[in-house]
């Protein structure tokens, strides 16, 4: 039995040893640069653990021995789950490992954008002056927080907003009555979230029905003083439309932990002071990463023991 850790998973010695009791383990670092490199690393493997590597039909066709792909993430949009299932390959993910980590980053981005913290920091460093006048911000207390997607992370963001005295509205096809009882979140149609919120925060998975869900039409509904936060996936937002809204002053700012740097709009986005960018660090807290790799390893062990868990489903079309 060959087990391959395909890319940059911060896997502990303890978890490597757990896998080694069930087969020959090979651990690689760095994201493979090509299909050929993926195949070279994983040739003959029955079990693959990976985080960032894209696994599509071409990869799967070149790895006929693979039985399991254990993904060290919640999202599996970089894995062709449907193609894997057709080939008899199980895909497992790690749900809900970074709930607090992502929710806290969303709150941090709200504060950073609303209080203009990064641009104020740059100003002090550049000018060595205490010039506070250009950096008047707005309080979160009393503002309306619109939560798009009230799964485990969205619910935690709503609770944090409630603690700060924010009013809460939300959109989700599956409303949480408990969330309404606990923090008073009101469910409204998606367009009303954008019309009525001072801050809109996105917490939905990337699927065909959510890809580019935030388009120019929705952005035009937002108040000029509103900001948008995205700690999920870049392709939830039409990035060019977001740039247009920001440049034209139709919205006040954005906090993005997910950006498509290869899109032609990225150059404009990087120049905007009212945008706070982070390099997809929502999950990257010590506690969350330890939990992530432990569950990713457990998924592999459970599969090999004939008791699989956390099986990912192909996206609905």
Task: Give the active site residue among 233, 250, 271, 298.
Answer: 233
Phi–psi pair at 92, nearest 5 degrees: -120, 145
Task: Give the active site residue among 67, 78, 250, 280.
Answer: 280
Q: How far apart are CA 212 and CA 205, in angstroms?
A: 12
* DSSP reduced 3-state for 237: strand
Q: Is 262 a catalytic residue?
A: yes
Q: Is 30 left (phi over 0), alpha (psi -120 to 50) or beta?
A: left
Q: Is 126 a catalytic residue?
A: no
DSSP states of 103-146 as a string? HHHHHHHHHHHHTTHHHHHHHHHHH-S---GGG----STTPEEE
Q: In the block, which residue shows the tokens 């906090």?
A: 255
Q: Which two tokens stand for residue 283?
A: 């999950």
Q: How far is CA 309 from CA 34, 87, 206, 207, in A?
A: 30, 19, 22, 22
H-helix or E-strand spanning residue 71: strand 68-71
* DSSP reduced 3-state for 187: strand
Q: Is 104 a catalytic residue?
A: no
DSSP-H helix ranges across the chain: 13-20, 35-42, 57-61, 81-86, 99-114, 117-127, 152-163, 177-183, 190-196, 216-219, 239-247, 266-270, 286-304
Residue 125's CB is within 10 A of a number of other CB atoms, namely 8
Do 176 and 197 contact (CB within 8 A), yes or no?
no
Task: Give the active site residue among 126, 262, 286, 317.
Answer: 262
Do 82 and 313 contact (CB within 8 A), yes or no?
no
What residues are labeled active site?
233, 262, 280
């Amino acid at each position: 039995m060959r087990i391959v850790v395909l890319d940059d998973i911060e896997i502990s010695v303890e978890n490597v040893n757990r896998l080694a009791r069930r087969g020959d383990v090979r651990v690689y670092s760095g994201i493979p640069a090509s299909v050929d490199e993926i195949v070279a690393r994983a040739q003959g493997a029955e079990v693959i653990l990976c985080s960032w590597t894209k696994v599509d039909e071409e990869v799967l066709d070149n790895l006929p021995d693979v039985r399991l792909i254990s993904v060290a993430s919640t999202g599996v949009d970089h894995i062709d789950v449907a193609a894997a299932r057709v080939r008899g390959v199980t895909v497992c993910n790690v749900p809900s490992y970074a709930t607090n980590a992502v929710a806290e980053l969303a709150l941090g981005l709200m504060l950073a954008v609303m209080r203009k913290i990064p641009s104020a920091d740059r100003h002090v460093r550049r000018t060595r002056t205490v010039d506070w006048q250009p950096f008047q911000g707005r309080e979160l207390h009393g503002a309306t927080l619109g939560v798009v997607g009230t799964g485990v992370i969205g619910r935690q963001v709503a609770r944090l907003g409630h603690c700060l005295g924010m009013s809460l509205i939300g959109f989700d096809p599956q409303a949480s009555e408990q969330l309404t009882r606990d923090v008073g979140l009101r469910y409204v149609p998606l367009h009303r979230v954008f019309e009525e919120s001072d801050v809109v925060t996105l917490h939905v998975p990337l699927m065909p029905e959510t890809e580019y869900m935030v388009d120019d039409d929705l952005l035009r509904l937002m108040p000029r003083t509103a900001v948008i936060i995205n700690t999920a996936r870049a392709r939830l937002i039409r990035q060019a439309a977001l740039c247009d809204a920001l440049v034209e002053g139709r919205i006040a700012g954005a906090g993005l932990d997910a950006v498509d740097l290869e899109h032609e709009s990225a150059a404009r986005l990087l120049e905007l002071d009212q945008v706070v960018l982070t390099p997809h660090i929502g999950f990257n807290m010590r506690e969350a990463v330890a939990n992530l790799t432990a569950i990713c390893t457990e998924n592999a062990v459970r599969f090999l023991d004939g008791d699989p868990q956390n099986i990912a489903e192909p996206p609905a079309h």
